[in-house]
Amino acid sequence: MFNRTRRLRQSQIMRDLVKNIDFSMDNLVYPLFIEEGKGIKKEIPSMLGQYRFSIDMLKDELKELKELGIKSLLLFGIPEKKDCMGTEAYNENGIIQKAIKYIKKDFPNFLIITDVCLCEYTSHGHCGVLRGNELLNDETLVLLQKIALSHVKAGADIVAPSDMMDGRVKAIREILDENDYINTPIMSYSVKYASAYYGPFREAADSAPVFGDRKSYQMDFRNSVEFMSEIENDIQEGADILMIKPGLPYLDVVRAISDKVSKPIAIYSVSGEYSMIKAASMNGWIDEKKIVIENIYAMRRAGADIIITYHAKDIAKWLKEGIR
């Protein structure tokens, strides 16, 4: 006698009955690129369907997101001016600070997560303070504190440091607590690999480094053990949510972490993942809807509680159509 596992796959109702993985719009976060200036709604060439918006052009987009049931946003800023210290990143009247205030005033029900980093704001494109070609860890922490505090003062609900400096979660937790923001969570980019999957994002956010790369601070994908040290450090330093980035190529890491920690786990399905699907779909090589939904289930199955995805708007529409 052999085991007839197909018995529980005979109909959609049967399959729905026994499934143990699901997701809803509550699990998804939608990234938005906010550019300083006016009258800007500019499609990103390498990320079809994604745009850079000036604040005055956000209203229609936010109305659509609200109607689709998207509740959480991750904001990235593109300033008009950059300098070697990324001063616009912690300017209280900077692009992200103004965007937060606008969204909280006119669309108060959105949960706002802000990216805390310097790469979009520095003239050299690196994620911190430089001395020659060397990125200085501890000097950068001071600026990250300023960025996080300015975001929270503007109304951000969660801050998400993506720089990969050692000790940044502790530094940010300390500055927030000192200023009575003890209840503001930190979503740390705990495990962020030096990845080729970020290519389209760097066009979207004007954040490509002018020289060199980020391999001295982002993680080496050839190493299969150091991710747990990063996770343990961030937990000890006070991270409330742990993020893994990129998404699909690192589901083994998500699974390993979710098996060992109890904190919520986020996964960032990054620009390269999005753009490859869009390109393959345009060429008729894949069924975009089915691929995206399958990928989301894969991330949930691996242990992700939160999925940051550029597909969130499309997914919301497909769910309304009954596609699962």
pLDDT at 312 > cutoff 90: yes
Burial (CB count <10 Å: 0-12, 13-18, 19+), residue 22: exposed
User: Which residue in the list 192, 260, 263, 317 is annotated as catalytic?
Assistant: 192
Global pTM reads: 0.94
pLDDT tens for each residue of 85-123: 999 999 999 999 999 999 999 999 999 999 999 999 998
Name the catalytic one among 66, 71, 170, 245.
245
Point out the least confidently predicted range of 37-41, 121-125, 240-244.
121-125
The answer to whether 30 and 310 are in contact (CB under 8 A) is yes
Task: Judge whether 245 counts as a catalytic residue.
Answer: yes
Indicate the angle between helix axes 271-282 and 288-302, nearest 10 degrees.
150
| pLDDT at residue 205, rounded to an integer | 66
